[in-house]
Each structure stands twice: as C-alpha cells, then as structure tokens.
Amino acid sequence: MDYHALHRTPFVFPNDAFPAWSIMIVLYPYITGMVAGAFVVSTLYHVFGRKALEPVARLAVVTSLCFCLCATLPLLLHLHQPFRALNVVATPSPTSAMAGFGFIYSFYLLILVVEVWLLFRPAIVARAASVPGRAGKLYRALALGVLEMTPGAAAVDRRLVGILSVVGIPAACILHGYVGFLFGAIKANPWWSTSLMPVIFLASAVASGIAVLILIYLFLCRRSGIAPDDACMTSLSRMLWGALLVATVLESIDILHVAYEREEEWYLIRELVGTKLRFSYLFLQVLLGSVLPLAMLPVPAFTRLGDAAFRHAGTGVAAVLVLVQVLAMRWNVVVGGQLFSKSFRGFVDYPVTVWGREGIVAALVVAVLPLVLLAGAMRLLPVWPPGEDGDAAGAH
C-alpha cells in the first residue's frame, strides 16, 4: 500500500494511515475464548454432574490450561517493547480496564494450574513412586514429595476441585467478557460502542471452546481407534448449538438495533458491511459460520437420524464452521472497527502480511502452539484415554 497516496486522500488524517491493531489482536480474543469455552465443559461435569461429559472432563480442563498459557503471546508479539507489559502489573491504574487484565489472567491461570494438579495428583503420586530416572524426579517434584495417596486425601482433592470449578466460572466470564468490555467502552467507534459487546464475546467464546474440544476429542478417538461416546457427542453438539444460537441472536440484535434507530452511524456501518467486510461478515460469519451450522447441528443434537458415525461427522463439520465463524467475528470487530477513517468520510485498508512478527505465518504458529502444549501435557499426564493409570477416582 502506498503510504503517501493515503495521505493525499482528503478524508485520511496523518495518524490514520493503517489500523494500529493487527492480526495478533484478532488472535488474542480468539485463543482466550477457547479457554473459557473448554472450562465450561469441565465445570458442567465436576460441579453440575453432567455424567455424559465424563469422557472429555479431564481433557477439557487441560485444554483450557494449554490455551490459557498461550493467551498472552499475541499481545506480547504485538508490543514493540513486550517487557513493558510488566509495568501494567507493577504500576497499575485502578481506573484502567487494561491494567486489570494482568490480575484477572494471573488469578484464572492459578485456578487452572491448581485444578489440573489436583485432578491428576493420584496419577502423579503413583508415577512418582514407580517411575525411575529423570522422569521419576519430575513426578516426585510435581507430587511435592508425597509418595502415597490415601482415600481421605483423594476425597479432599475432589472437594477442592469442585470449589475451584465454582470459583472459575465467574473468573472465566470476567476473563473473556473483559475483552468485549474494552471494545464496547470505546465511545468514538460506532462499530464497537455497544453494551452487548461483552456478552457477545462471552457467548461466542463458549461456542469456540466447545467446538475446539469436539475436534480434539474426535481426533484423539480416531487416532486411538476408540469409538466416540455417543452420549458425550450428543451433549456436546447440543451445547454447541445452544452457545452458537445465543451468540448469533445477540450479534443480530446488536446490528438490527442500530439499523432500526437509523442514526448517522448506521449509514457508515451499512457501507462498511457491504463493502470492506462483505466476504468476512456476510459470507464467513453470517452464512457459512452461523446459518449453516445452526441448520446442521439439530440433526446430531436432537435426532437419531443415520448411524453414530454420520452424526459425529456432522458435529465435527459444524464445529469447524463455528471456529470459522468466531474467527471471522473477531476479525470483523478488531480489524473492521479500525477501517473507519477518523474523519468518518471514508475507509482505510488493512494490509495483510505473510511474514514478519505480525504476519499470517506468525499467527498460525501462535494458534498451533496450544495444541503442541496439549500434546506435551498428554505425554506427562494421563489425559487420554479416560481412566488411564487407574486414576479415574481421583479425577472425578
């Protein structure tokens, strides 16, 4: 893009050449949303006793932890001086929502780490007492020197897991709702400034977390030669359909409300959606990512049409489409909201780059990294298959 040509355009101000927030800021709420969504599935089992979700209960909480560990990487890559991020925590402003993120994130990460440790403590203790060499030293360090697990200790751990799951529910909501709060609080941008933004982000986050958990579960079942549990897949498909329905309704209400009021910002938003965001919004987010999976999911969720493999495949395809929808929604909010020129007399362009610190390749690496951590966690802990190493009682 010609920088000087932009400045010759009458409606572009000198500080209005390119959007300041890049694809990494798109990826940040995308990964964070999967943290909250996967944790919801784990909580439904450990707190509310949804027995159908037992096959994915431990997988869900470990998946949530792996994505949470990578949630800040897009932000750090976006910053030119990433070490200055510590200043937000060291010298926080009590009135800054951004300053609060460091504390919210740290608190939620601590909950996940402790809960995962308690869930897998029976297996960690058993391996600490039996595995030799360096691996044994690692397990003994994780077991904090304890080499025997008593029934009383296991009962205490189960109660603590329930308490942490209850505390983690509002923490997960705050963690991701805060992202929508940041955008919704920017009054000068008509695409962002809405009180529904935190709820929209949270609903789509739950949908994306359930979707990625479905795909991971189907992949692990196929790789292990295990048939997916039909009751578990039915429950997950119902949850995915419900979360996507709520997110789609809220997104529709938001834009329909602006269209009905027909204030001056509506004509700008209408032009943005019809031109700059025609493909990413109308096709990817609305048609491919919302309408199609909403039509597909009722078949595996509420009917017994076809065999189990057919229904599971339909749920998997719908999960992929939901992930596309949520990514497109994040793109349309973050990038689309910056395409307004600050004069509100036209639009600017976002130059997509392939290489570099904030290019597509770097974004793909960051997006895949949580799955790499999950693969490592599965080598260290008996995450899969469920009940391995006889630690099912401790995990429940």
Main-chain phi, psi angles of 190, to 5 degrees: -70, -20
Judge whether residue 358 has pLDDT over 90.
no
Radius of gyration for the alpha carbons in the chain, expressed in angstroms and rounded:
23
Mean pLDDT of the 7-13 span: 56
Tokens at 147, concatenated: 């080499």
**Span of 6-10, 64-68, 377-381, 389-393 with lowest mean pLDDT:** 389-393
Report the Cα 301 to chain-centroid distance in Å.
22
pLDDT digits (tens, 9 = 90+) for 245-304: 999 999 999 999 889 988 878 888 888 898 889 999 999 999 999 999 999 999 999 998
Judge whether residue 376 has pLDDT over 90.
yes
| pLDDT for position 11 | 64
Confidence of residue 370 (pLDDT cuts 50, 70, 90): very high
Confidence of residue 5 (pLDDT cuts 50, 70, 90): very low
pLDDT digits (tens, 9 = 90+) for 300-348: 999 988 889 999 999 999 999 999 999 999 999 999 888 877 667 778 8
**Mean of per-residue pLDDT scores for the chain:** 87
Mean pLDDT of the 169-193 span: 83
Judge whether residue 187 has pLDDT over 80.
no
